[in-house]
Each structure stands twice: as C-alpha cells, then as structure tokens.
Amino acid sequence: MRRRASLVLLAFAVFFAAMAPLLRWYAFPRLAKIPPGQYQETVLEAKPATLLDYNDGMKVKTVPRVTIVQTLKGNVEESERIERTAGRDVVVWDALSFVAGPDGKMVSQIPERYIFDAHSQAPVHATGESVDGDPVRREGIEFKWPFLTEKRDYEYFDAQTRASSPIHYRGTRTFHGMDVYYFEQTIPWTKVPMPKKMPIAITPEQIAKTGLTRWYTTKRMFWVDPVTGAPVNGEEIHREELRNARSLGLSEDTVTVFAGHVKMRPDYVDSVVALVESQRLLVLLLTSYLPVGFLVLGAALFALALWLEARSRRPGGRRPHGRGPDGTPDPVPTPAPAPA
C-alpha cells in the first residue's frame, strides 16, 4: 500500500515540477496581453505656464494653468480587422492629446492611431498607423513598456517629431510605496509640423507659405511599474517656439508658443496606481507565485514519496512480520506428524 502511495505522490511531484516552467515560459507569454477594448483618460497640468494667445494679437502670456487631456480608446473593430492578416493578437489605440488654456478653450489637439502587439507591445505596421492624420511607421514603444520591463534603454516614439529615439533607464525608485523603474528621454530642439487644428482659422499649408516654422524640445520622464510595464507617473519639461515670426508682422523673430513643467494631476496618479496594483498581481501569479509554488510543492511531494518508499522497506532486506515481498500474507505452516 505504501509503495502504491509513493508512486502516486511521485507522479504528482513530476507533474507540478513540469508545470512550473510551463507556466512561466509557455503560458505567460500567451495569456498576458492588453485587452483590445481598453479605455483610459489622463489629465496633466502645467502650473504656471507660458502660452501664446493667438486671439489677442499673438501675445505671449504667463497663465496660471495649461491642461492636457490624454485619452486612449481601444478600437476593437480595427484590431479584429488587422488580426485577420497579421496572424497575431493586435491592439489599436485611438489616442487624442487635447491642450486647453486657462479658460478651457482649445490650444491644440493631436490625434494618433497606435497599433501594437497585445503581448509584447511591439509596433504592428498596418494601414491607419498615424499621427495627426499623417502616416507614420513607429519603431520602439509608446505609452506602455513591455510586461516584465528590463533595466535597460528602450526606443520610444515621439509623436511631435514622428521619430523614435532612446529613452534611458536611470535607476529604481520608490513611488507611492511601489518599486518602479525611472526613465528619461530628452528631445533636442527639432522642427516639427504645425498642428492641423489650431485656435485660429489658418491651415498648416498657409502658415508654411509665410516661412513660419514650429520648433519643439522636451525632457520626458516616466516612472514605470516593471511587472506590468505601465507608467504610474509621467512628467515633461516642455517648450515650443515659432520661428521666423516677423513674417507674420510680429516684433520678435522667435516667439514662445508654450513652455511649462507638465505633471500628472494627483487624483489621476492615485487612480493609475490603484489600477496597476490590481493588475500586477495577475502577472505575478503567472511569473512568480504559481511557478515557485509548484516547484516547492513538487519537491515536497517528491520527498514524501521517497520517505514512504523507504518505510516500505526494512534495513538489510528484512520484511514486515507475516508478509511477503509483495505484501501478501505468509502461508500457514503445516504441522509435522507426531512420531509413532
């Protein structure tokens, strides 16, 4: 009986030991993915800020606040269409960055369509990939880091310049009680397209004919949860200028369009941290808790199987009294006949 129990325990030990690497290296890459219908809104503010007032003689003013509302909306219909030809799980995010002045009126808005692999977050190049209506071909990541983010630099796509450049890992920090990875990216002064929607009735083509150009620089900072790859905080030290401004009759040739330190609003930081904390447990179950638990359980069952097997045997080959090697009772001896 003990030998049979030890064989059963040994089979379970092998099963759990085999399940540990399968969960981590086979199941996790296939199960962990971004849902296609996700919706997220984030509000950032620059307080105070420098802002060009297009409706008041193109004057540069210091204002108490500039608000940037960023929305990410999963386009399920488009993701399903692209999946049919891409042969993998795809997420399509329709993003919008809406900049509002202190009066709540639009300063600019830039729509994006970001198409990426649901598991790895690598870009997927398909029709519709764009920034402000212009076709682009992204390299690297945007908005989100991969699951199990590594301590290294990544290529990060900048929507203003329509190009990717390294975003550098700068160390591990503590943010709201979480251990996060801190990344920085600096975009040097670069000539960028004019937004197609502006608070004045003029098109980018009309502006281009005047010789007016738009330039931009920023220092981008992210605090990223390494388990889910989701940023829990983001900031930018942002500056935009119009150059050759005298072509519009202005007194100065370079005019500041916007300058400020953009930070995520505290209530949105709290909501993002809460969301990430709820999701990181699911990732840890597949990458750490269950694989390690299965290994420990398998080792315990293996040790118990060996102990039962040892108990079923006696030292020196002795067997339990009244039992044969296979556990059957010994035959009853026949009494010898009495002498005549």
Domain-wise residue ranges, the chain: 1-31+281-318, 32-264
Confidence of residue 147 (pLDDT cuts 50, 70, 90): very high
Rounded Cα distance between 275 and 10, Å, is: 41
Percentage of the chain lying above the pLDDT 70 cut? 90
Mapped onto helix, strand or coil, the DSSP state of residue 234 is strand
Q: Is the pLDDT of residue 318 over 60?
A: no
Of residues 50 and 23, more confidently modeled: 50
What mean pLDDT, rounded, does the chain reach?
A: 88
Per-state percent for the chain, helix, strand, coil, to nearest 5: 30, 35, 35
Q: Is the pLDDT of residue 282 over 70?
A: yes
| Contact predicate 189/216, CB 8 Å | yes
Q: Going by C-beta distance under 8 Å and a sequence separation of 6 or more, which residues neighbour residue 24?
A: 286, 287, 291
Confidence of residue 315 (pLDDT cuts 50, 70, 90): low
In this structure, of 57-61, 182-186, 269-273, the range with the lowest mean pLDDT score is 57-61
What's the predicted TM-score (pTM) here?
Answer: 0.85
Confidence of residue 334 (pLDDT cuts 50, 70, 90): low
